[in-house]
Structure 1
Amino acid sequence: MTGSQPRVAVVTGGSRGIGREIAGRLAADGFAVAAAYSSSSELADEAVASVRKAGGQAIAVAADVADETDVSELFDAAETAFGGVDAVVHAAARFALSSVADLDLDVLDDLHRTNIRGTFVVAQQAARRLRSGGALITFSTSVVGLAFPEYGAYSASKGAVEALTMVLARELRGRDVTVNAIAPGPTATDLFLDGKDDETVARLAARPPLERLGTPADIAEVAAFLAGPRGHWINGQVVRANGGIV
Structure 2
Amino acid sequence: MNTLELFSLKGRKALITGSSRGIGFALAQGLAGAGAEIILNGRNQMRLSEAAMQLRDTGATVHQLPFDAADPVDAKRAIDRFEQDIGAIDILVNNAGMQFRTPLEDYPPAKFDELMRTNVNSVFYVGQAAAKHMIARGRGKIINICSINSALARPTIAPYTASKGAVANLTKGMATDWAKHGLHINGLAPGYFKTELNEALVSNPEFTQWLEKRTPMARWGDVSELVGAAVFLASDASSFVNGHILYVDGAISATL
Same fold (TM over 0.5): yes
4+ residue runs over 2 A deviation: 76-82, 130-133
Query: Offset at 1:202?
Result: 3.1
Number of equivalences: 241
Between the aligned partners of 1:55 and 1:181, the Cα distance in structure 2 is: 28
TM-score (norm 2): 0.88
Whether contact under 8 Å (1:8, 1:78) holds in the other structure is no
What is the CA–CA distance in structure 1 between the aligned matches of 2:212 and 2:198, rounded to whole Å? 12
- Number of the residue aligned with 2:115: 111
Please name the residue that 1:11 is paired with: 16
* 1:166 corresponds to: 172
- The TM-score, its normalising length taken from structure 1, stands at 0.91
Residue 89 of structure 2 is matched in structure 1 by: 85
Q: Which aligned pairs between 1:144-163 and structure 2 lie closer than 5 A?
A: 144-163=150-169
Aligned to 1:193: 199
State the identity as a percent: 31
Unaligned runs of 5+ in 1: none
For 1:76, the equivalent position in structure 2 comes to: 80
Q: Where does residue 239 of structure 1 map in the other structure?
A: 246
**Alignment match, 1:128:** 132
Residue 61 (str. 1) matches residue 68 (str. 2)? no
Match of 1:22 among 16, 22, 27: 27
What is the one-letter code of the residue matched to 2:161? Answer: S
Q: Secondary structure at the match of 1:33?
A: strand
Supply the distance in 2 between the matched residues of 1:178 and 1:76 (Cα, whole angstroms).
20
Paired AA for residue 99 in structure 1: P
Q: Which residue does 1:230 correspond to in 2?
A: 237
Q: What is the aligned partner in structure 2 of residue 34 from structure 1?
A: 39
- Say if 1:108 and 1:153, in contact at 8 Å, map to a contact too: yes
State the alpha-carbon separation in 2 of the partners of residues 7 and 51 from structure 1: 16
Between Structure 1 and Structure 2, which shows a larger proportion of helix residues?
Answer: 2
Unaligned 5+ runs, structure 2: 1-9
Q: Cα deviation per residue 1:145-190 (whole Å; 9 max; x = unaligned)? A: 2221212010001111111111110101322210011111111001
Which residue in the other structure is 2:186 paired with?
180
